[in-house]
Amino acid sequence: MESASEVVPDPQITPLPMTPPSVLGLFTLRGEIIPLFDTRVLLGLTATSSRPGGSLAGAQARLAVVVHTSEGRGALAANALPATAVLGDPTGPSESRGTAGTYDVDGRAVVLLDLGALLAGREPGAA
């Protein structure tokens, strides 16, 4: 919770040319430029990005969850309104990269995101 600061509905995304599929583009928040990442791609859940046809135009995200990391502010794309919850002990390990365990919240399995690991991936071929 300390890392996530706010949720922005329907952000106006400006695409960034020649970035990997994990990057949806940029948007502004009160004058600050924030990069928006495709959470599903970062987690390795899909092979392709949410961009229709892989093209740059038309990148969309229902919601952007703004987070703080040691490298600055970024945002993760999300589909449903996040709810806050207090996590108990982990109920099991998680497999996707950038995650830190599985928890039980009101009977549902929830995976905890490790933002540092999730966003820290440096793509080969980029500086």
Partner 1 sequence: MAATGHEDRFRRLFADESRTRLTRLSEQLLTLEESPADAELLASLFREAHTLKGGAAVVGLPAVTRIAHGLEDVLDALRSGTVVTSDVVDVLLRAVDTLRELIAAGVEGREPSEDVQASEAALRALLDAPSPIPQDAPETPGESAQRQAGAPEAERRREDTVRVSLARLDELARLVTEAATAQLRVGALLARELGVQPDDLPEFRELGRVLDELQDRATRARMVPVSTIVEPLRRAVRDLSRALDKDVVWEARGADTEVDRAVLEHIADPLLQLVRNAVDHGVEPREERAAAGKARTGVVRLHAMRLGAEVVLAVSDDGRGIDAEKVAEAARRRGLDLSGRDDEELRYAIFTTGLSTAATVSDVSGRGVGLDVVRAALDRVRGRVEVRTEPGAGTEFRLIVPMTLSVLPCVLVQTQRQHYALPLHAVMSGVDIARSGESLEGREVLRVDGRHVGVSDLAQVLGLREHSNGSGPALVVGGLTRLHAFRVDAILGQRRVVVRGLGRLLPRVDFVAGASVEPDGRILIVLDPPGLIDAARRHQRVEVDARGEPGGERHRGAGARVLVVDDALTVRELQRSILERAGYQVTTAVDGEDALRLLNAEKWDLVLTDVEMPRLDGFGLVEAMRARPALAAVPVVILTSRASEDDRRRGLDAGADAYVEKSAFDAAALLSTVARLLRQGS
DSSP letter for 92, please.
Answer: B
Provide the minimum distance between the beta carbon of 104 and partner 1 in the complex, in angstroms, as a whole number.
Answer: 28
Considering the complex, state which of residue 9 and residue 54 has its C-beta at the smaller distance from partner 1.
54
Q: How many whole angstroms separate alpha carbon 91 and alpha carbon 102?
A: 6
Strands (E), the chain: 4-9, 23-29, 32-37, 63-69, 72-78, 99-105, 108-113
Rule CB under 8 A: is residue 41 a binding residue for partner 1? Answer: yes
Out of 4, 8, 35, 90, the residue judged to bind partner 1 by CB under 8 A: 35
User: Residue count at the site for partner 1 (CB under 8 A)?
Assistant: 40
Considering the complex, state which of residue 55 and residue 91 has its C-beta at the smaller distance from partner 1.
55
- Catalog residues that contact partner 1 under the rule CB under 8 A: 12, 14-23, 26-28, 30-33, 35, 41, 44, 47-49, 54, 56-57, 69, 71-74, 119, 121-127
